[in-house]
Structure 1
Amino acid sequence: MKLYYYLTLMRPANIMTALSDILGGVAISGFLIATDWDTTSWSSVGWLLLATIGLYAGGIVFNDVFDLKEDRVNRPERILPSGKVSVTEASVLGIVLFVMGIVSAFMVSKISGILALIIMVLALTYDKIGKHHSFLGPLNMGLCRGGNLLLGMSIIPENIFRDGYMVIIPVLFIAAITLTGQKEVSGNNKTSILLAMLLDAIVVILFIGISQYGNLNLKIAAPFLVLWYGVNFLAKYKAYKNNQPDWIKKAVKTGVLSLILLNACYIAGFANWNYALPVLILLPLSVLLARKFAVT
């Protein structure tokens, strides 16, 4: 039973989206179409996937640790305020996960390891400070996801400088999700949702621009992009129209899970659709896990 509580703290459904970040970054780097897929190639991808599991889960665990006082009032049913796991146990779990993430990243390259350290610092900054600021919070969380995409790109370190600008997309979209989630408990956040919808539209415009001046094939990425934008527009529109906590929570949940679709856009556009389709398997898996474990 304790294992179930630990898994709940780690948000397994969200981890699926973090794995897709890595695969998206790997595709952007050109690795998928340039490699001969030997044992070294597979191990590099594997280490990066393990790294993001540790980093993401560690950040999520510490988020609940820092939120304990607030959750005792607003969400007493959660794992920590309900006493199912102690703060000490959760903190140890978070530290172990961070160490696993950083060590795994260094197994790929020095740059990967440094990026992992930066992601850890960004995650802890958001957990402790960033989420309490209306502007810095969304930006901080966006940088965490952007760093995760860069971590995937670091599989070919020199290409980070060529394609690193792509982090602007997850930064904007995660900022949109974070804005949508503001006042999730109380509702009444229509202005934030409208701004989030604007950021989603800007992401689509950026994809079009990158296809014109970069290596992204928009024709192949378009079906994935339309699907991603459609599900988010619909979820945010419903949250705007019915501006209550339940609808806001659904919009945030949709946004988080749709990160898999967004990463499929990168993979299709920078590699090919046949690489993107297998990644979509993570989506139903994430949805199934979301029914069993919390997402927000």
Structure 2
Amino acid sequence: MAGAAAAGDLGPRTAGLAAASVCLYWSGMAANDWADRELDAVERPERPIPSGRVSPGQAVGIAAGLTAAGVALAALAGGRRALAVALPLAGAVWAYDLKAKNTPAGPAVMAACRGLDVLLGASGGRVARALPAALTVAAHTYTVTELSRREVSGAGRTLPAATLAGTAGVAVAAGGRRVTSGALAVWYAAAYGGAQVRVAADPSAAMVRAAVGAGITGLPSLQGALTARAGQPLAGLAVAAIAPLARVLARKVSPT
């Protein structure tokens, strides 16, 4: 939605590209659990594969099927231009899960996934105009991913201070001069930034996980701000309205 609005192409095809985005995101979640199954058996045995609720074969099959579905939906909704973004996006998702996640490049690769996701939405319009929105979402994702690497061990006080500064910059970039986008950017900064302030005060693993969850569930408010900044305030409010629903659902199913 944010990419389509920025590119001047918010319309019927956006729904198909959003569905493709969902499939690719879910494929990454399943592939992540499959790739981490041995580590999770030690550190987080309650996860789906170590607990026995899902077999490794089922997880990788789901991940592959959702990847294929996401690429196919992108091609159907946006043609060759969307396919040209969906394929590298799918590749980046698998590269993160299988190789990059536990390396210094991990946050940058995940940020690239989210930036490409914005450009997928923009693929039917003027893509160059969506680059600032893509970079803003990528910067947000970088901070969330850096925090997520400390979900088990906890963090020092330097990391949340650095990510909080990044979040402030992201909020300023998303807000712009429009009333709606500015209000949504403040909402984003208060929710996600507040969680990082709490990590700075108590850098335990539980607080880090809470901040990561806030970063994930706060993404719709950021994307809503970017959509509103592109001249689509009602669409931006609709996107941002998903954020409180996401927080409710996160109490039942962990977003991390």
Are the aligned partners of 1:182 and 1:189 in contact in 2 as well (CA < 8 Å)? no
Distance 2:42 2:208 in 1: 19
Q: In structure 2, what is the Cα distance between the partners aligned to 1:165 and 1:250?
A: 28
Counterpart CA distance in 2 for 1:94 and 1:294 is: 18
| 1:132 equivalent in structure 2 | 102
Return the match for 2:3 from 25, 29, 34.
Answer: 25
Could you tell which deviates more after superposition, 136-145 or 276-285?
276-285
Match of 1:259 in 2: 219
| Map of 1:232 onto structure 2 | 192
The letter for the 2-side match of 1:102 is: V
Indicate the residue corresponding to 2:237 in structure 1.
277
Q: CA deviation at 1:207?
A: 4.0
| Paired amino acid for 1:24 | A
- 1:116 pairs with 2:86: yes
TM-score normalized with structure 2 length: 0.94
Q: 1:163 aligns with which of 90, 109, 130?
A: 130
Q: C-alpha distance in 1, partners of 2:152/2:56?
A: 23
Q: 1:104 maps to which residue?
A: 73
Give me the TM-score of the superposition, normalised by structure 1.
Answer: 0.82
Aligned residues: 255
Which of 148, 155, 161 in structure 1 is aligned with 2:117?
148
5+ residue gaps, structure 2, are none
Of stretches 110-119 and 182-191 in structure 1, the one that deviates more from structure 2 is 182-191
1:1-296 to 2 correspondences below 5 Å? 23-32=1-10, 41-42=11-12, 44-107=13-76, 108-134=78-104, 136-156=105-125, 159-207=126-174, 211=176, 217-296=177-256
| Structure 1 segments (4+ residues) deviating >4 Å | none
Shift of residue 111 of structure 1? 1.5
Aligned-residue identity in percent: 27
Indicate conservation of the 8 Å contact 1:71/1:81, yes or no.
yes
Instruction: Return the letter of the residue paired with 2:4.
Output: V
Deviation at 1:125, TM superposition (A): 1.1
Cα deviation digits, residues 87-124 of structure 1 (max 9, x gap): 11111111110010000001112121121111111111
Greater relative CO (CA pairs within 8 A, separation 6+): 1
Q: Contact 2:45–2:51 at 8 Å: present in 1 too?
A: yes
TM-superposed CA distance for 1:205, in Å, is: 4.1
Tell me how far apart the structure 2 counterparts of residues 76 and 182 of structure 1 sit (CA, whole Å). 18
Counterpart amino acid of 1:66?
A
Quote the RMSD (CA, aligned, Å): 1.6
Unaligned runs of 5+ in 1: 1-22, 33-40, 212-216
Query: d(CA) in 1 for partners of 2:38 and 2:153?
Result: 17
Does the C-alpha gap of structure 1 residues 207 and 293 become closer, same or farther in structure 2, counting only changes over 3 Å? Answer: closer
Amino acid at match of 2:128: F
Taking structure 1 as reference, are residues 129 and 96 closer, same or farther at Cα in structure 2, changes over 3 Å only? same
CA distance in 2, matches of 1:234, 1:58: 30
**Equivalents in 2 of 1:205, 1:264: separation in Å?**
14
CA contact (8 A) 2:225 2:236 kept: yes
